[in-house]
Amino acid sequence: MLPRVNSAAIRRLNMVRVFHALRENPNCAQRDLSRLTGLDKATTSAIVAQMIEDGLVERSDAPRARRIGRPETALGIAPSAGLLVGARLEPGTIRIVSTTLAGTVVEQSQLPGSTDLATALRHLHEGIDAVVAASRLEGGAAPPPLRGIGIGIPALMDRAGRLVLAPNLGWRDTPIRPLLEEALGAPVHVDNDTKAAAMAERLFGACRGVEDFVYLTGHSGVGGGLFLGGRLYRGAQGFAGEIGHLTVVPGGRPCGCGKRGCLETYVSETSILAQAGERGRALPDLWAAAAAARDGDPVVRTLLEAAGSHLGVALSHMVNLMNPGLVVLGGNLSIVAEFVLPTLNAALDEHALGPLRRDLRLLVSPLGPDAVPMGGIALAMDGFLSVPGPIL
Amino acid sequence: MLPRVNSAAIRRLNMVRVFHALRENPNCAQRDLSRLTGLDKATTSAIVAQMIEDGLVERSDAPRARRIGRPETALGIAPSAGLLVGARLEPGTIRIVSTTLAGTVVEQSQLPGSTDLATALRHLHEGIDAVVAASRLEGGAAPPPLRGIGIGIPALMDRAGRLVLAPNLGWRDTPIRPLLEEALGAPVHVDNDTKAAAMAERLFGACRGVEDFVYLTGHSGVGGGLFLGGRLYRGAQGFAGEIGHLTVVPGGRPCGCGKRGCLETYVSETSILAQAGERGRALPDLWAAAAAARDGDPVVRTLLEAAGSHLGVALSHMVNLMNPGLVVLGGNLSIVAEFVLPTLNAALDEHALGPLRRDLRLLVSPLGPDAVPMGGIALAMDGFLSVPGPIL
């Protein structure tokens, strides 16, 4: 009923708190750490000493000027302590990014994706090897050691990291994490792409410090990442957040999941382009749809307005059920936000309860389509920080 | 980003853990407490010694036989340590229950409700005084001291305990907790009735040990209580769970909230009876509706089937978004469950994602309409246990 706590777990929690404070405040003075973490000075200083000994934190050479007293050196997560790799696996493309342990981007690359599992995994493997090899720091002969890999996939992933169903990749019941871990030789963390992106918004994006928010994204499907009470909420099986499969048109367009009239059959990039095609508008991507709408194309405008309206209805269900304080439109939805938001807002006004609607903030993601690979970084960072025992 | 922990908070968490283990396992032997709580023997025994000294726990006189070695006395929450009072405030009735600190019912009563705030609070005050005065334990001259009062109200309550909107009582923006605390002279905890009932299901009912469940109830309105990751989820403002206001029929029946076609305009007790009346069936309550359906009345059957179908659609939204493992039909919905469930299940089959639907369990609440007053007890118990400092 209540979490069990012991002193090792507390030390770990405090260390993670210091880690994030250093990550979010580059060149932090040790005296500021207590205030930033809420930990007392003795605890902070013991943790910092241990992290320096472990090679995780370094004191910078450049002394930091103080107004009064002797100058103070600044602290930071050591770039040499390790690399993290984040990846986004989509049917058409694989995107890979490497960062320092603190989340500063070092290298990026993009490769062709595949719906053939073996091909996709081979490309991912080769791509990660190449990105890691290229991730040399200034003056470094070899790249820092790889500490973890995080991968976002458009799939239902269960709590054990098993891929249950990926309608747009055509994969099901695949133990993807052990397959990857064996191939890649480093800890691998796999999660639903939208959940990963929501974690990125929380760690690096618009939702730093926000306890309750919903992150919405639309690529091949539409997904929601739920941060509730400061934690990514996964649900009983790990499938929470499937807003893309809320029925918005009973008996409507057929969906990859086997149902009809799901939100994502009207709102995902794939379905918006398909509907445009059915109406004689061949558009390669949502950037083209946004451009056509900006030029006043009534067919594309009507499609985007309908998408906004359907999304607003589904979102009103989410608002009434979960009372989030903030909704972030991310991924490719951010590309067409200006054409989607007016009808989306009107649907929220009509269908969400007054007091819940009134205080709801709606933001367009600053990370945009980059959120998923950075979500892989967030997964890898979270995994790295939650390993019991010494960090390095 | 992470909870701050200190040794006082840990001692409190461990004490609460021991409290619940003793509550759930009457006549528990001290040697079993370590296993039940996951705490080591030394910790358990220090906590028990403190709780005995505080008068919260007592050793029973009757020795408990052990197969091997000397007999062992049993431990339990002391009935003399205090009373808790739980209440349910509805427009028509006020129900009050008193229990021991362990949640064993001592007294109950029912009084007329009122939509006039002053009248309702006066009845509540008088009713609680009378129930407390009557709560004498075996052989006790005076009732044990009142340790806390919990009240469930059909209202949007914000996180500060302020009543924001109670459409069916006609109240809004009322600082109900301080009003009651001044009148009643004991710590008062007020919450939305459905959230309180969900807490009762978790502590005393069908959901003991279940981490992720949704509790649904329908009286004057329809509400949902969400337990997510082992915690009652409240949302950014405290309004989470308003399933009754999901639009299920765009432009449909007018709702007390000002919108149209809300779920509760088809599924609450009030609206089912109103719809029956519109069709020439004057029914006093849902028990009568269940009886008529059992007699084969086609009008009432059709109404209940439609209610089940609407509820199933709204529930499928909830399932797709939140992936609960268990849904509990509680309150007055449990009275008509047999007529509502077939269409509810069919709607779930049609609208919920396969993997999420497959593992979903659906239960009818064992607490039924008693869940709200027992929810008041759960609120009061939770409040009592979370006061910092010594317990008594």
Residue of B16, B322, B382, B385 to mutate for A, most A C-beta atoms under 10 A: B322
Please state, in angstroms and rounded to a whole number, the distance separating the CA atoms of residues B87 and A387: 46
B27 inside domain: yes
Q: Write the single-letter amino acid at A62.
A: A
Same domain, B183 and B279: no
A57 inside domain: yes
Number of domains in chain B: 3
CATH number of the domain at B347, please.
Answer: 3.30.420.40
Judge: B321–A259 Cβ closer than 8 Å, yes or no.
no
Closest CA to A317 of B45, B318, B204: B318
Examine the fold and report which residue of B55, B77, B99 is the final residue of a domain before the chain moves on: B77
> What residues in A contact B353, CB-CB < 8 Å?
156, 239, 242, 245, 257, 259
Same domain, A378 and A353: no
Q: Is B247 helix (H, G, I), strand (E, B) or coil?
A: strand
Q: Which residue of B has its CA nearest to A230?
A: B1
Give the pLDDT of residue A218: 81
Which among B5, B13, B246 has CB closest to A320?
B246
Same domain, B263 and B318: yes
Same domain, B306 and B162: no
Q: Which residues of chain A have pLDDT under 70?
A: 1-6, 61-72, 388-392
Q: Give the strand order in the sheet containing A72-77.
A: A28-29, A72-77, A57-64
At CA B374, angle to CA B373 and CA B379, rounded to 5? Answer: 95
B1 inside domain: no
Which among B17, B317, B320 has CB closest to A2?
B17
Judge: B356–A239 Cβ closer than 8 Å, yes or no.
yes
A369 alpha-carbon distance from chain centroid: 10
Same domain, B286 and B343: yes
* B226 touches A: beta carbon within 8 Å: yes
ipTM of predicted complex: 0.83
Please state, in angstroms and rounded to a whole number, the distance separating the CA atoms of residues A238 and A240: 6
CB count within 10 Å of CB B7 equals 10
* A38 touches B: beta carbon within 8 Å: yes
* A254 touches B: beta carbon within 8 Å: no
Give the pLDDT of residue A1: 39
Same domain, A216 and A193: no
B392 inside domain: no
Same domain, B58 and B167: no
Please state, in angstroms and rounded to a whole number, the distance separating the CA atoms of residues B328 and B315: 11
Contact B195, B375 (CB under 8 A): yes
- B380: region left, alpha or beta (phi > 0 left; psi from -120 to 50 alpha): alpha
Contact B73, B351 (CB under 8 A): no
CA distance A234 to chain B (A): 8
> What residues in B contact A211, CB-CB < 8 Å?
236
CA distance A320 to chain B (A): 5
Give the pLDDT of residue A61: 64
Range of the domain at B53: 7-77
Beta strands per DSSP E along chain A: 28-29, 57-64, 72-77, 83-89, 93-100, 105-112, 146-153, 156-157, 163-166, 171-174, 188-192, 213-218, 222-228, 231-232, 326-330, 361-364
A32 inside domain: yes
Largest CA distance in chain A: 73
The per-residue pLDDT for range A366-383, each reduced to its tens digit, is 887 788 999 999 999 999
A87 inside domain: yes
CB count within 10 Å of CB A362 equals 16
* B249 touches A: beta carbon within 8 Å: no
Same domain, A276 and A255: yes
Please state, in angstroms and rounded to a whole number, the distance separating the CA atoms of residues B145 and B289: 43
Contact A18, A37 (CB under 8 A): yes
Q: Which residue of B has its CA nearest to A326?
A: B236
B203 inside domain: no
Judge: A257–B353 Cβ closer than 8 Å, yes or no.
yes
Same domain, B178 and B87: yes
Phi, psi of A253 (to 5 degrees): -60, 140
B294 inside domain: yes
CB count within 10 Å of CB A129 equals 16
Judge: B236–A324 Cβ closer than 8 Å, yes or no.
yes
At CA A226, angle to CA B247 and CA A264, rounded to 5? Answer: 55
B33 alpha-carbon distance from chain centroid: 27
* A152 touches B: beta carbon within 8 Å: no
Q: Which residue of B has its CA nearest to A164?
A: B355
| pLDDT, one tens digit for every residue, chain B (392 residues) | 344 556 777 788 889 999 999 998 888 888 889 889 888 888 899 999 999 998 999 987 655 555 555 556 789 999 999 999 999 998 889 999 999 999 999 999 999 999 999 999 999 999 999 999 999 877 777 889 999 999 999 888 887 778 998 888 889 999 988 888 888 888 999 999 999 999 999 999 888 888 889 999 887 789 999 998 888 898 988 899 999 999 999 999 999 889 999 999 999 999 999 999 999 999 999 999 999 999 999 999 999 999 999 999 999 999 999 999 999 999 888 899 999 999 999 999 999 999 999 989 999 988 877 889 999 999 999 999 887 554 44
CA distance B264 to chain A (A): 13
Beta strands per DSSP E along A229-308: 231-232
Which among A164, A350, A359 has CB closest to B355?
A164
> What residues in A contact B233, CB-CB < 8 Å?
228-229, 322
Q: Is B373 helix (H, G, I), strand (E, B) or coil?
A: helix
Residue B333 structure tokens = 């919905």
A381 alpha-carbon distance from chain centroid: 12
> What residues in B contact A318, CB-CB < 8 Å?
321
Q: What is the CA radius of gyration of chain B?
A: 22
Same domain, A111 and A54: no
Pairs of CB atoms within 8 A across A/B: 177
Same domain, B331 and B214: yes
Q: Which residue in the block uniquely carries the two structure tokens 């398909």?
A: A274
Judge: A324–B235 Cβ closer than 8 Å, yes or no.
yes
Examine the fold and report which residue of B77, B104, B125 is the final residue of a domain before the chain moves on: B77
Please state, in angstroms and rounded to a whole number, the distance separating the CA atoms of residues A248 and A11: 48
Judge: A226–B321 Cβ closer than 8 Å, yes or no.
yes
Judge: A235–B38 Cβ closer than 8 Å, yes or no.
no
Same domain, B61 and B119: no
